[in-house]
Amino acid sequence: MNAEPKCRSLSVVVTIVDGQAATVACLAALGAQVGGPDLEILVPFDESIAWARRLAAPGIRPIPMGHLTT
């Protein structure tokens, strides 16, 4: 019989595509989940997106990627 792991965690990478409002809504929806694993939410961002640093919160880690060319 397999025992369920005592500590479940999940890393989620959220990319910024549709702007601040969509990103904040996505993060809020992830944070509102009940009964799931503990989440580590990673948000890589281009340095030109100034508001991305303010997303930092418990469980949410903005990751500056420098200036990215497209």
The token pair that represents 44 in the structure block: 């890589």
Asked if the structure places residue 59 within a domain, the reply is yes
The domain in which residue 54 lies consists of 9-64
49 part of a folded domain: yes
| 69 within a domain of the structure (yes/no) | no
Residue 1 is assigned to a structural domain of this protein: no
**Amino acid at position 49, single letter:** I
Predicted TM-score (pTM) of the model is 0.83
Number of domains in the chain: 1
> Does residue 3 lie within any of the structural domains?
no
Q: Is residue 48 part of a domain?
A: yes
What local confidence, expressed as pLDDT, does residue 49 receive?
A: 94
Q: What is the mean pLDDT of residues 33-40?
A: 90
In a domain, 36, yes or no: yes
Q: Does the pLDDT value for residue 38 go beyond 70?
A: yes
Q: Tens digit of pLDDT for each residue in 56-66?
A: 999 999 999 99
Rounded Cα gap, residues 21 and 10, in angstroms: 24
Q: Is residue 2 part of a domain?
A: no
| pLDDT one-digit tens code per residue, 45-59 | 999 999 999 999 999
Contact predicate 16/45, CB 8 Å: yes
